[in-house]
């Protein structure tokens, strides 16, 4: 019987080793490549940045995105691929329909523990049924939304890994998901659920959450730093270095 995420996610992680154990168990269960996302507050919805601003029209957002691209070109070159332009905009603070994930669970763990010391964090494990690489992604966001939305009783999740064309995406082992409708909170879906690929193969898509108690965050930050996962490592450049130095003053 399918159960909602909140009924199945009871695991607590108190260390890096426990997170890796949970990751091993999840990937063994699903037998597929997994993606990971860390959130500093376990109560936050799992939604894209654009969905957090309330009601919006995708067409209106697309006009704003094209304006962003026009202004960005004045500063420097942009990737040819629309997906890479979206990923670049996302990593530079623009609210987009994409949701950030990582192929490295320790990157996700860092984001779960680096902020909000008085709140429990969470790491989400996702085994996507649809995962596209740079050469297999649809040409445009709108064409993908059309494919995802037509004749589907469930709200599908589409995952994408772009080229590591920027330092930040490379450092964070970045990947992205897109949900239809765009504002869908992954926690509201029933997991696992069946998904049929274009070639007819049936797959079971899964999402689970492990919780990081607030009292474990500080020690995990230290562990991750010893393993080379710090703000300056994940945010290459002066901004990341400044944040890391400021944290030492706190």
pLDDT digits (tens, 9 = 90+) for 74-113: 887 788 778 888 888 888 888 888 899 999 999 999 999 9
Q: What is the mean pLDDT of the chain?
A: 81
State whether residue 101 is helix, strand or coil: strand
* Share of residues in the chain with pLDDT > 90 (%): 32
pLDDT, one tens digit per residue, over 44-53 is 999 988 888 7
Predicted pLDDT of residue 7: 37
Query: Is it the case that residue 3 has pLDDT exceeding 70?
Result: no
Predicted pLDDT of residue 1: 35
What are the counts of helices (DSSP H) followed by strands (DSSP E) for the chain?
10, 10
Gap between the Cα atoms of 119 and 43, Å rounded: 9
Predicted pLDDT of residue 240: 57
Mean of pLDDT values over 12-24: 95
Mean of pLDDT values over 139-146: 64
Residue with more model confidence, 3 or 65:
65
The Cα-based distances of 10 to 43, 211, 212 in angstroms read: 14, 7, 11
pLDDT, one tens digit per residue, over 189-246 is 778 877 776 677 777 888 999 999 999 999 999 999 999 998 888 887 666 566 666 6
Here the tokens at position 225 are 């730093």
pLDDT, one tens digit per residue, over 143-157 is 666 655 543 435 567
Predicted pLDDT of residue 243: 62
CA-closest candidate to residue 86, choices 180, 181, 177, 184? 177
Predicted pLDDT of residue 125: 96
Highest mean pLDDT (candidates 29-33, 58-62, 135-139)? 29-33
Asked if omega into 181 is within 30° of 0 (cis), the reply is yes
Predicted pLDDT of residue 179: 77
Pairing of strands 99-102, 193-196: unpaired
Predicted pLDDT of residue 143: 65
Least confident of 32-41, 111-120, 154-163: 154-163
Mean of pLDDT values over 177-181: 77
Gap between the Cα atoms of 97 and 101, Å rounded: 13
Question: Hey, which residues does 169 pair with through a beta bridge?
Answer: none
Its pTM stands at 0.84
């Amino acid at each position: 019987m399918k159960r909602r995420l909140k009924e199945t996610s009871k695991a607590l992680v108190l260390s890096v080793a426990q997170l890796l154990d949970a990751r091993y168990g999840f990937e063994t269960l699903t037998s597929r490549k997994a993606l990971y996302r860390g959130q500093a507050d376990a109560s936050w919805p799992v939604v894209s940045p654009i969905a957090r601003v309330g009601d919006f029209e995708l067409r209106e957002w697309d006009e704003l995105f094209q304006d962003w691209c026009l202004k960005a070109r004045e500063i420097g070159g942009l990737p040819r691929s629309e997906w890479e332009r979206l990923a670049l905009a996302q990593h530079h603070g623009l609210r987009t329909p994409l949701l950030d994930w990582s192929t490295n669970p320790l990157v996700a763990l860092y984001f779960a523990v680096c902020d909000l010391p008085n709140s429990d964090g969470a790491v989400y494990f996702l085994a996507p049924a649809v995962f596209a690489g740079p050469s297999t992604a649809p040409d445009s966001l709108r064409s993908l939304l059309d494919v995802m939305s037509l004749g589907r009783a469930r709200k599908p999740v589409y995952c994408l890994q772009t080229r590591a064309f920027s330092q930040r995406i490379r450092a964070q082992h970045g990947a992205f998901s897109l949900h239809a409708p765009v504002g869908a909170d992954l926690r509201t879906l029933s997991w696992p659920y069946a998904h049929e690929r274009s070639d007819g193969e049936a797959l079971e898509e899964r999402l689970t959450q492990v919780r990081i108690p607030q009292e474990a965050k500080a020690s995990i930050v230290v562990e991750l730093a010893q393993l080379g996962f710090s703000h300056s490592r994940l945010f290459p450049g002066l901004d990341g270095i400044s944040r890391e130095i400021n944290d030492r003053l706190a």
